[in-house]
Chains A and B, each alone.
Chain A
Amino acid sequence: MLLNYHQLGSWKWFLTGFTVLAAVFLLLPILFIIALSFGSSQWLVFPPPHWTTHWYRELFSDPRWLESALTSAEIAVLVMIFSVVIGLIASFGLTRGRFAGREALRALFLTPMILPVVVFAVAIYALFLRIGLSGTLTGFVIAHLIIALPFSIISICSALEGFDRSIEDAAVLCGAHPLEAKLRVTLPAIRHGLFAAAIFSFLVSWDEVVVAIFMASPTLQTLPVRIWTTLRQDLTPVIAAASSLLVGLTVVLMLLTALVRKGMKS
């Protein structure tokens, strides 16, 4: 009866109320930033005395914001491409390979996801200082790739494990080259895994801040670094405007994911 919503009796109202409160707790800060970004108060008085788009204009009139957003996008797209390609190839090896230490290797590939980012950030920063990659685009892409790869491998591996390999074998038996069978039979079948890998990899890089703080140079800053350095000085509403745009991006990505999932089901 505790696992049947309609048989909960008086508990139902208490638990539902609690869940609604928790949902409000999760949603409120996000709505709050959006409201704040349109508020006229420099000192973030809430509720705002007037409504304005001033902060958005200020955001767009400062070329440094746009520049850092473009840098972030460039890095994130590169990371996404490499992460999906390398992750796909590795996932084939991990799910179908027959070699000693396969499980240990899988664990190794997932380690960057569970270790505290700050440890990795300090370590890669030290290495990149030595080999001259700190503060370069290549450096950013490599560092973010290490963090993104586990997400890609998890998504693609689970898609490959759910794919019936005999379909690919059938294509080979019918005369397709093994590579052609992989490209034209297997890849379309696991496209939801590839899509998830791409989205996760993009987001991981786009939102990554810890490694970026260490590596950023005055000439190469990602958007999170720009927000971070501004936040350390003051809580200007310009950040609220930038954050609201980021929330907008999240919503777009979520809708896109939902659409793709729906499209794949039908």
Chain B
Amino acid sequence: MAQTVYSAAGSDIAQSAPQVKPKRQPNGFPAVVPALVLIVLFFVVPITALLVRSVLDPKPGLGNYAQLLGSWTYARVFANTFEVAALVTILSVAIGFPVAWMLAIMPRRWGAVIFAILLLSMWTNLLARTYAWMVLLQRTGPINKLLIYLGLIDHPLAMVNDLTGVTIGMTYIMLPFIILPLQGVIKNIDPAILQAAALCGANRWKCLTRILIPLALPGVAAGALMVFVMSLGYFVTPALLGGTSNMMLAELIAQLVQSLVNWGLGGAAAFVLLIVTLAIYALQLRLFGAGRLSHGGQ
């Protein structure tokens, strides 16, 4: 308001006299300096240094990358990582979609209960949750006992120290991350569209496959990409539930650095993980815009 009055007056005077400059607004940059210094010093610099090390340590060149990408041992690790991440993503979407859908339309009271359970699960210490699955899935654990009792299996299944356990544990951890955002997407779909389809004679299946799923698809895809990329770099759960024979990428990086003190190779593996992660986020940005990463931009 004051601004418009000011500039209107300003344009009148502008011809005859030099325009009076408005009091300079602080541009706000100094405010971000502390955070910027912190991020540059302790995030950008160390990660760059690690990547530099991957091409310099032990000797300059791409030797580390050749070793990493050229051996069957490491190929197995990459295969494990992508396999588990893909399975976890598929399972999370398959379980998460109906739950998100119900959560969006359920009577408020029940929705609140489900919501509280989701938050409790998400906020509970990761190690505590992983511990629960280590016990639940072990050879003599309750799940094996139950399956034997029901006569579904004769011998206990080896789920711990196996990718099965990792997949179950990771799906458990990722579910809230897909349900919560997807629930919001479905809630924003206009029910009138489905009403209209029903009036035009579409049955339930048609409404589901032709309208609800396509409308929810951007949300599903965004959530799925997020789960996939989080799973790729996950360390704790695969390390505890998978054991050393079923290593995944994050565990390999940790082991190369911690046990083998091979910084060059570890840095190279970290760089591969970094590039894959960033590539998937770039894909997500391209497909769904910047809304998810930097909300409120122009």
Contact = CB atoms under 8 A, between A and B. Distances in A.
Contacts of A146: 38-39, 42-43
A166 B133 CA distance: 52
Contacts of A110: 293-294
A66 interface: no
Contacts of B131: 33, 227, 231, 235, 239-240, 243
Given A26-B175, A122-B257, A235-B135, A209 B126 contact: yes
Interface in A1-56: 1-5, 9, 11, 15-16, 18-19, 22-23, 25-27, 29-30, 32-33, 36, 43-46
Contacts, number: 286
B32 A143 contact: no
B39 A149 contact: yes
Contact of B236 (A92, A209, A214): A209
A27 B296 contact: no
Contacts of B116: 254
B250 to A, nearest CB: 4
B47 A250 contact: no
Contacts of A240: 131, 135
Contact of A90 (B34, B47, B270, B277): B34
A92 B117 CA distance: 34
Given A126-B46, A231-B240, A243-B131, A3 B297 contact: no
Given A2-B194, A103-B294, A92 B43 contact: no
A157 interface: yes
A127 to B, nearest CB: 4
Contacts of A214: 254, 257-258
Interface string B34-69: 111011001111110110010000000000000000
Interface stretch (A57-65, A73-81, A111-119, A184-192): A111-119
Most A CB contacts (10 A, CB to CB) among B31, B186, B298 go to: B31
A161 to B, nearest CB: 5
Interface string B272-296: 0110010001000000000001111
Interface string B55-93: 000000000000000000000000000000000000000
B263 interface: yes
Contacts of B263: 126
Contacts of A15: 98, 101-102
- Interface of A, secondary structure class, is helix
Contact of B43 (A46, A112, A116, A235): A112
Interface residues of B, number: 98
Contacts of A11: 204
B234 to A, nearest CB: 8
A21 to B, nearest CB: 9
Given A43-B140, A116-B277, A240-B131, A149 B257 contact: no
B16 interface: no
A228 B126 CA distance: 11
A194 interface: no
B42 A27 contact: no
Given A98-B25, A105-B36, A115-B277, A19 B98 contact: yes
Interface in B212-245: 212, 229, 232-236, 240
B192 to A, nearest CB: 9
B34 A126 contact: no
A45 B139 CA distance: 11
A260 interface: no
A234 to B, nearest CB: 10
Interface in B75-126: 95, 98-99, 101-107, 113-114, 116-121, 123-126
Interface string A228-266: 100110010001101110110011011000000000000
7 contacts: A1-B207, A3-B189, A95-B296, A115-B277, A119-B270, A214-B257, A240-B131
3 nearest A-B residue pairs (beta carbon): A97-B28, A116-B233, A93-B31
